[in-house]
């Protein structure tokens, strides 16, 4: 599905019989098949990251985009483009990971200083950090006009720039992050019962939380480095999964990956079909859907807390 209509027969001919023009085969492979697979990986990574962030913070509103992790990764990538002239996938991912770590550290540091660890405080801290990094991104683009064209589409979240090289880096990172998340799930389940209960069950809370945080951050950073800052997928995927299948993280983590993949792929298809002449970047679609959901969840959390 996309702006250009391609019949099923032409697609088969282009891929297998080589009777169609090579440009058509290239369009099918790179703009349809590879892009769809990339959307599944990004959505899965963000879904896992969201479930891990919610488990570690014990906050149903936690999400990489809400905690400022996306914008932190974006700022470091933009600085790399503007001042270091980065070009390789590994450089994008490395800088995005550092930026995500810095943003997460700032958010949790602000919350710790205030001694008020609750969902709304975490959201406000994440929003403040996100706004700060967004302002810094704007400042860099104003100073370095030559960097605008390189990241203006990336900045709003787009799946159209995927390459086979990017996928080569992404797949092993996704697999490792997924395995670490699954291994952390039993320990995180125990921690949901309280630190004392988890300790009595033989769970090392520090190691579990650190491993889960690193896995969530690197999955989010990799997706952000390759596709741009795509918001709310982690929040939507994890919330829907918990609603349908319960709170057991042994189920929530893998099912959040599937749900995130479904959400992001659907958003990408909608963005490509909404107009005959162009497409809407997937980051815009997810923001339009995710923002009202966040408001609803925040209001419900506030009511329950009261």
Locate the domains of the chain by residue range: 49-305
Sign of the Cα torsion 219, 134, 67, 306 reads negative
Per-residue pLDDT, 18: 52
Per-residue pLDDT, 98: 94
Q: What is the mean pLDDT of the segment spanning 263-268? A: 93
Question: Given pLDDT bands bounded at 50, 70 and 90, which one contains residue 306?
Answer: very low
Q: What is the mean pLDDT of the segment spanning 107-116? A: 79
In the predicted structure, residue 258 carries a pLDDT above the cut 90: yes
35-39, 90-94, 138-142, 254-258: the lowest-pLDDT one: 138-142
- Quick one: which of 67, 161, 47, 159 has its CA closest to 110? 67
CA angle 227, 232, 233 (to 5 degrees): 65
In the predicted structure, residue 147 carries a pLDDT above the cut 50: yes
Q: What is the mean pLDDT of the segment spanning 149-171? A: 77
Q: What is the mean pLDDT of the segment spanning 189-194? A: 90
In the predicted structure, residue 19 carries a pLDDT above the cut 90: no
Q: How far apart are CA 67 and CA 263, in angstroms?
A: 20
Question: Given pLDDT bands bounded at 50, 70 and 90, which one contains residue 279?
Answer: confident
Per-residue pLDDT, 117: 61
Question: Given pLDDT bands bounded at 50, 70 and 90, which one contains residue 284?
Answer: confident
List the structure tokens of 3.
């702006």
Per-residue pLDDT, 52: 94
Which is higher by pLDDT, 202 or 303? 202
* 187 burial level (CB within 10 Å; 0-12, 13-18, 19+): buried
Question: Given pLDDT bands bounded at 50, 70 and 90, which one contains residue 25?
Answer: low
Q: What is the mean pLDDT of the segment spanning 157-166? A: 78
In the predicted structure, residue 47 carries a pLDDT above the cut 90: yes
List the structure tokens of 71.
């914008």
pTM of the complete model = 0.86
Q: How far apart are CA 68 and CA 98, in angstroms?
A: 13
Question: Given pLDDT bands bounded at 50, 70 and 90, which one contains residue 154?
Answer: low
List the structure tokens of 286.
């997810």
* 24 burial level (CB within 10 Å; 0-12, 13-18, 19+): middle
Rounded-to-10 torsion of CA 182, 184, 190, 194: -130
- Quick one: which of 246, 278, 223, 240 has its CA closest to 65? 223
Q: What is the mean pLDDT of the segment spanning 176-193? A: 95
Q: What is the mean pLDDT of the segment spanning 9-25? A: 57
List the structure tokens of 29.
């492979």
May I ask the CATH architecture of the domain 49-305? Orthogonal Bundle (1.10)
In the predicted structure, residue 239 carries a pLDDT above the cut 70: yes
Each residue's pLDDT tens digit, 61-80: 788 888 889 899 989 988 99
CA 212 to chain centre: 15
Sequence length of the chain is: 306
Q: How far apart are CA 40 and CA 34, in angstroms?
A: 10
Per-residue pLDDT, 242: 92
- Quick one: which of 70, 128, 131 has its CA closest to 101? 70
Mean pLDDT of the chain: 83
In the predicted structure, residue 173 carries a pLDDT above the cut 90: yes
């Amino acid at each position: 599905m996309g702006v250009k209509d391609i019949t099923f027969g032409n697609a088969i001919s282009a891929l297998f019989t080589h009777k169609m023009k090579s440009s058509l085969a290239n369009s099918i492979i790179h703009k349809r098949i590879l892009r769809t697979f990339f959307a599944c990986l990004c959505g899965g990574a963000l879904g896992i990251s969201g479930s891990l962030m919610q488990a570690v913070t014990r906050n149903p509103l936690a999400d990489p985009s809400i905690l400022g992790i996306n914008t932190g990764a974006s700022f470091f990538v933009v600085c790399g483009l503007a001042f270091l002239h980065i070009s390789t996938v590994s450089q994008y991912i490395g800088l995005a990971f550092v930026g995500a770590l810095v943003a997460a550290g700032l958010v949790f540091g602000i919350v710790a200083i205030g001694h008020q660890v609750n969902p709304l405080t975490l959201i406000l801290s994440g929003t403040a950090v996100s706004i700060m990094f967004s302002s810094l991104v704007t400042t860099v683009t104003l100073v370095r006009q030559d960097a605008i064209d390189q990241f203006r589409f990336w900045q709003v979240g787009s799946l159209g720039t995927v390459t086979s090289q990017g996928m080569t880096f992404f797949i092993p990172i996704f697999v490792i992050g997924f395995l670490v998340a699954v291994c952390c799930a039993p320990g995180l389940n125990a921690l949901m019962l309280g630190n004392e209960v988890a300790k009595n069950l033989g769970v090392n809370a520090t190691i579990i939380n650190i491993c889960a945080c690193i896995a969530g951050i690197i999955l989010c950073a990799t997706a952000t480095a390759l596709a741009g800052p795509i918001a709310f997928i982690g929040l939507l995927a994890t919330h829907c999964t918990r609603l349908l299948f319960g709170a057991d993280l042994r189920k929530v983590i893998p099912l959040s990956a599937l749900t995130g993949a479904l959400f992001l792929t659907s958003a990408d298809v909608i963005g490509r079909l909404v107009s005959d002449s162009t497409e809407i970047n997937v980051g815009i679609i997810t923001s339009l859907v995710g923002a009202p959901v966040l408001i609803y969840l925040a209001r419900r959390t506030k009511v329950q807390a009261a």
